[in-house]
Chains A and B, each alone.
Chain A
Amino acid sequence: MAIISTVGLARTFSTPKGPVAAVRGIDLTVSPGEIVGLPGPNGAAKTTTLRMLTTLLSPTGGAATVAGCDLVRDPAGVRRESGYVAQSGGVDPNLTVREELVTQGRLYRLLRTEAVARAAELGLADLLDRKAGALSGGQRGRLDIAMGLTNRPAVLFLDEPTTGLDPGSRADLWKLARRVHTEHGTTVVLTTHYLDEADALTDRLVIVDRGVVVTDGTPRDLKRRHTGSPDATLQDTFLAITGHGIAPDAPALPTATAPTTA
């Protein structure tokens, strides 16, 4: 039984210049407990896909279920069963870690103590009374993930979780994502434009290009299939698949950029 299943999931935006098909039709099946990566450059429809799967954006075509709940008919069910961490995070810099975690917990109808316990599990116990704005990049990343895990979701969606972080913090977050995955069997779907991250962290890569899934498989499989060598770099593999690459070390962007809509 798939935990995520989409058929022809599509989103067209109407713009002054006419309709723009950001996502043309995503067919995707994810089994429980997988860590799936959607690598690709900005504008490859990764975020739009994630925003549809988390009920933030209604699809204009196709259908999908997340944790057995239909995206369109039962958005409340999808929200109950999943967690989402946006690229921009989503905590108020003026509130303390405790305040944000407790509010988040109560939005999921948890008790105050449960929310704080979640903080301890993720190594935030010492930071509870710190203002979110005063945390380091890595600590912020951990808080964002803790917020997304508040309801112990069956599926956790991470949008560019490590963009803008230093290498140490990135490694920490990878470890954290792995741990959550092994301890709770959480299914993780993440987007990234760091191919090393996709390579190191995920069981399966789903390559989305120009709004459709072009191929998917384990990183090793994809390398062998598309470049003929299992030891090829993911950068070369990506290039072979899509005809264009991803800048391997894209400059680290500050996380608080304008909201991505496509």
Chain B
Amino acid sequence: MAATLSALCSDTALIFSRYARQTLRSRFQMLFGILMPLLYLLFFGPLLTDLPLGSEGDSWQVLVPGLLLQLGLFGASYAGFAVLIEKQSGVLERMRVTPVSRLALLLGRVLRDAAVFVFQAVLLVLAALVIGLRAPVGGVLVSLAFVALLTVSLASLSYALALRVNTPQEFGPTINTLTMPAMLLSGLMLPMTLAPAWLDALSHLIRFRYLVDAVRAAFVGDFVSSQMLYGSLVGAALSVIAVTIDTRVFTSVSA
């Protein structure tokens, strides 16, 4: 058991370092990932400063949490594209015929994705500070940890999907179909407190909303709240589901 665990850790470290090295080699890609939230911050954020948003904190404390989740949501959801490329180049199979732990093949990748997210998120928060964000440091750190966990779950699901489909033409639209409603119905850009009753009710069906609310609560330093509780529960449930699905897919394709 101990030997298995240490093998899992060293395999994960190995896979992580391979992909981290690959990422460091394409710095442009890493910066490109934060371009969208950064543009929202610069050109959308200022529109909100004088609007009544119906939530605690100022407009930056409402917008920046949304942008962090946007960064996590889109970055992680498309992570599977890399697996599609590796399937075509044979890299994935080459690794799967070695005795490397199946779980490490997944963990090494998603940990790299989480690391990339944290790096991008720190840059985004720094930019937000310059433009006017003021938020408790503890709240920001809790939020980063929260969204990093979300990244791990979503990236795992994205890899699971990529292992199942064969072409980018199947993968892209599927991801789009899932991420767009998640973004619009979770109140990512503007809080759902602004929504008419039917939209508010609908958004509660999209569990992603609870994560958004929790991160916003953290940004105003509100750690003991129903938002934090629900957010944590949804986050935990999502990770459990993601890991369960993934373990199934990874073992079924590589039994």
**Which residues on A are within 8 Å of B, measured CB to CB?**
54-56, 58, 72, 75-76, 79-80, 82-84, 86-95, 99, 103-104, 106-109, 147, 151, 256, 258-259, 261
**Contact present for B98 and A108 (CB under 8 Å):** yes
Judged by DSSP, the binding face of A is loop
Least CB distance, B132 to chain A, in whole angstroms: 40
**Contact present for B99 and A256 (CB under 8 Å):** no
Q: Chain A residues near B18: list those with CB within 8 A.
A: 95, 99, 103
Given A55-B254, A88-B88, A108 contacting B99 (CB threshold 8 A)? yes
**Contact present for A90 and B14 (CB under 8 Å):** no
**Contact present for A94 and B25 (CB under 8 Å):** yes
**Contact present for A80 and B94 (CB under 8 Å):** no
**Contact present for B22 and A95 (CB under 8 Å):** yes
**Contact present for B95 and A107 (CB under 8 Å):** yes
CA distance A80 to B93 in the complex (A): 15
Interface centre among B87, B94, B255 (most CB of A within 10 A): B94
Judged by DSSP, the binding face of B is helix
**Contact present for A75 and B255 (CB under 8 Å):** yes
Contact of A56 among B25, B91, B96 (CB under 8 A): B96
Given A55-B97, A79-B97, A82-B97, A256 contacting B89 (CB threshold 8 A)? yes
CA distance A256 to B96 in the complex (A): 19
- Contact mask for chain B residues 96-124; partner A; CB cutoff 8 A; 1 contact, 0 none: 11111000000000000000000000000
Cβ of B246 under 8 Å from chain A = no
Cβ of B90 under 8 Å from chain A = yes
Contact of A259 among B88, B97, B98, B100 (CB under 8 A): B88
Cβ of B11 under 8 Å from chain A = yes
Least CB distance, B113 to chain A, in whole angstroms: 17
Given A92-B91, A259-B90, A99 contacting B21 (CB threshold 8 A)? yes
**Contact present for A107 and B88 (CB under 8 Å):** no
Q: Chain A residues near B96: list those with CB within 8 A.
A: 55-56
Contact of B99 among A80, A92, A103 (CB under 8 A): A80
Contact of A58 among B22, B25, B86, B255 (CB under 8 A): B255
